[in-house]
Structure formats: C-alpha cells, structure tokens
Structure 1
C-alpha cells in the first residue's frame, strides 16, 4: 500500500494542475469574449456618430472616440495625421453623403498586451439619398485603453472596391 500512495499523490497533483490550466483557459476565453464585446460596442458607437455626423453634436461625439494624434490611412485618399484633420475631411466628404455599415460576421478582435486591441473586418458604404450600397473595403482599427477610456489611435481603410450586383 505504501507504493500506491505516492502514485495517487502524483495523480491527484496532475489532476489539480490540469484543472487549474483548464480554469485559466476558461478565464482567457472569458477575457477575449469581454474584449470582443467591448470593441464591438466601440465600433457601433464610433460609426453611429460617423453615420449621423450631419446631425448637430454628432461630429463632436465622434471625436470623443479618437485620439488627438489619430493617424488615418486610406488607400484612395492618403494619410491624415491628426484628429482635427480627420474630422475636417469627414465633415466635408462624409456627413450627409453616405453611411458605413459593418459587414455581418466580419469583425475580429485581437488583444494587444498592456495597450488595447486590434479590430479588423469589412465594411461597406451606402448612399444616404438612395440607400444603395456602392462600395466596400477592409478596415483595421487600433484601440488604446488608457485611464479607463478607449480611443482609436490608428485607422486603416483599404482595398476599396465597388460592390458588384449579383
């Protein structure tokens, strides 16, 4: 019996280690789900204000999602180096003209340790007067969490192409 006791001790220790690892994996999955929910909510807020930026006060709300030193990279329009320049371009070219829609099922979120997250996916653009969607593109947003606040620091919109009707 003395030979069996150490075996059971090792077996119990291995089972405990396995349970702890499984618990940690569950915690990591829970953290990723929470991050995805947070970034999904941020995306919805960012683009709700973008889509309604011709309504008084909405462009200022949109600015609240953006870092002052925002960099915006657009394959067709070039680079915008500040939040102020991005907002001026948005007011001139977007507000009252078109809206952005997230392509369902395309959103992916990846954590950045001790910083925030990367969001990527596909979006399409639709004319406000006709409701007709005319283009789509890939996007990537780098979100920073600082002092409990999330803000977009880098936005990429690229691979723009027309939507071809079936």
Structure 2
C-alpha cells in the first residue's frame, strides 16, 4: 500500500467515494435530501495550499481517502489560532479492517504538524460506533455532541 496526494485525474473515483460516504451516513442523518448530493469541493482540496487530499493505493487501485484542511479558529478564546479539520475518510468496503483509515489519519496528522498545526478535529456521527472506535484508536476523544430537535 502507498499513500499519495490526489490529482485531478483521481476525481472520478473520488466522486464515487463521496457517494459511498453519503450512503453510509444516510442512516445516521434523516435530514439529508434524497438523490445524489455532494459534501465536498474535492478539486479545491487538491489545489489549495491550505489542504491536502490523500489517497491510498494498492496494486494501482485507489482504495481509501481523506483530507485535511487548515481552518482558522472561529473563537478568539481558544488556545489555538488554526486547526486541521479532517474529512472525506473512506475505505472501500472490501479493504476495511486493514488499518487503512489509521494510515490516512496518521498521514493527515503528520501533514498538519509539518505546518505547525497541533489541534486536529473531525466530525463523526455519535451512533456510528465503528467509526467512533476507529478514531478513538487513532487517539481522538469525544469533544462536543450536537443535538437537534425537529419542531
């Protein structure tokens, strides 16, 4: 397995990954509209100096992905001015359980550290127990739970 930065030539496969992420998240989020939707500006992540989009290849097949985006802190009372936000974490189903998500996460954290960023955050659905466990295994800890009410 190798990791590398994604290129524009990878976009077709990555757009398929995006739909895989959305399909996996639909059971956890009843507010998503039906049909094809897009969460990410993948081309921006490829081109921006404030982001990196990493893919994992095995035998010339793209099997996993994730991005890190440097964001400015929204609050002036945090101990950090910038943080890295991780997202687009996807591993093809037949390759899950091999440590690929951890490989991507470690690569993204190292990228952030190389830019002087020590705060790293991501969002995960609280009910997505396997994802929560995977991120806890990578060193993340729960921080804030967003709750909703439809009235």
Higher radius of gyration, 1 or 2: 1
Q: Which TM-score applies when normalising by structure 1?
A: 0.26
Q: Which TM-score applies when normalising by structure 2?
A: 0.28
Q: When you count strand as a share of all residues, which structure comes out higher?
A: 1
